[in-house]
Structure 1
């Protein structure tokens, strides 16, 4: 059992989700006890600066270095405070703050590796906390030809899979991402295959099952909704609480259908995205489209909510091997009751069996919907410590399993 901290700030950039958990990792199972979980809000000035950088505003190298350290210091503060009243953690897994993500690309026979920047360097966190810190989790998968995203599906697999039921774990943060988990059956450890990083405890049975797991970024989650709520309210709201504003409007299906023609939605997995595609530029174009059609503010929120629901359902129908028995929501969007209702309605016609597809939250299965991503990076840090790969090549497109993260600092028992 390892006491670990997991920390992440997502695409919404509203703060740091941090957890403290006791984690036991086994070849075919992850067991954990969540001891503490909290969200630390970014100071308004820092959030504004991060937002500007993520939107492509120029920044000097000295200013970028200072911003990197400032983010790390706040992560370190959150990691320190979450341990209050508990024995100290043995390791920290810090995702940091993504400010740029470029998927890999192939053109005319030439392959270009992806590129992803997360601020909040692990060396600073380790130095401030005195706890070994794993960070920069996306780099190894990218170096192996993958997208470096999404990285949570292997954790999802060993936390939330079922022996008989197929499940989709749908995160709705700023950007949405899905993990499809086929029924897992019974797994056993038989051999240790050679991978890019050496010998890993991945059995033949595990590999056969894991190859059937797929996942990708589905498109906008809350990113466009939050921008719309902030701008349409004149800054008085930062999000549409429970989807109440959207529920008062009427979605424009013609506009949703138009937006769904975006090339990203047609692109087969593996695929990943961010604010580079579904950020301010998309929002401003979408707002102009909506105003041209005479939509009210509530109609605009309803239409953007419909885009999130429709893009998820379209993604499932187009790219999944079969529709799931159950969809489990997590992330901030899981609190949006109107979005959950629209997603449920969108999924039913796409299911050829006619059996209703349930839409629930991961909380109902004992995994916090608000903090699942932070939990995942605590697990990934433990896996790094134990030499267990964290990526799923079937999801990211990497050539093989790789050990994720760079480890900074040393155990306190070492000289």
Structure 2
């Protein structure tokens, strides 16, 4: 089958069969399809879209373009499951969720990414921990998934290699904004991990990846249908990102917050509510809990017993980090040299937060990347971020800024202060952390 004929057919808005899509993606993976051909195909998809069957085939072809992990030879004593988020600010859910699920009997081979734009990356957070190796060999990865129940690492070169190449071309050819291409990229990598079930966290709001609530809803519906259609039961929680999920943002600061939650603290936070809701969905969907009430009991036991924190500690040590991180976090997670408060210019209630601006502020401080090869300062970030609906008096802090220097702090203070809109009390009701749950054939 000629590659140029596949491109022509999609250019002319014809429907491609699964064989054609698999042939094209094999060529992307092995290099026989050139960058110009990848760009032409991607543009044809952007302009003409894909049917649901085409999108499923593209996802399966992405998954199958490299190694697909199999777990039967390890004789695991529980299901293999995972979660993925579209990203946000203060979203450290993965650091807590993976060990928490492992403590409840699941096995979580979590392939995570780095920060992108204003959103923080799970790998960047974990690399704030001295010695933590996000690129172990596959044998160590598999062993930790079996023995500890969780391992959070970066994408290996053998998993979904077609995705990495396709995304690289899309990034420079204005073809990123395509629902079937986005879904295939997200799911192809995840499903290559040989999952029994997957739960997605799709963000909604001004700090989310998708530009509008309708776009987030459309993405969520597509993920449920395409993931399930590709053979992996998939559900989605739509969660709020109109303010940071945690009251902090920045790599080392978020590791501290993860440890706090794993100790059973912070149960009144939005972060806890979202993490608990995702964990409940995972346990019920995977058959580790009979229903939401049973899941809540199991999750409470895992926290109260210290088992969830123990799983996190074992994962960190297994991947090269210190064995006593939980006990001596202040020793290993270096603080920023300079801290200062960004204060309210007048009294009022926080009626809106430009969440994206806060995330970009962290990037400006050095806690994220402007370019792919930039080094990250894991010490910097924001803490004590005021929440929507919170009353502040003139001169009271809106957040605490952690910077490498006073000059760095002064460079972003105005931008960060402007991210908060103050008004009258009661004029805005903050959205619930969980907007909706979508499952195959049903929604709630």
TM-score by shorter chain over 0.5: no
Question: Per residue, is there more helix in 1 or in 2?
Answer: 2
TM (norm. structure 1) is 0.27
Larger radius of gyration: 2
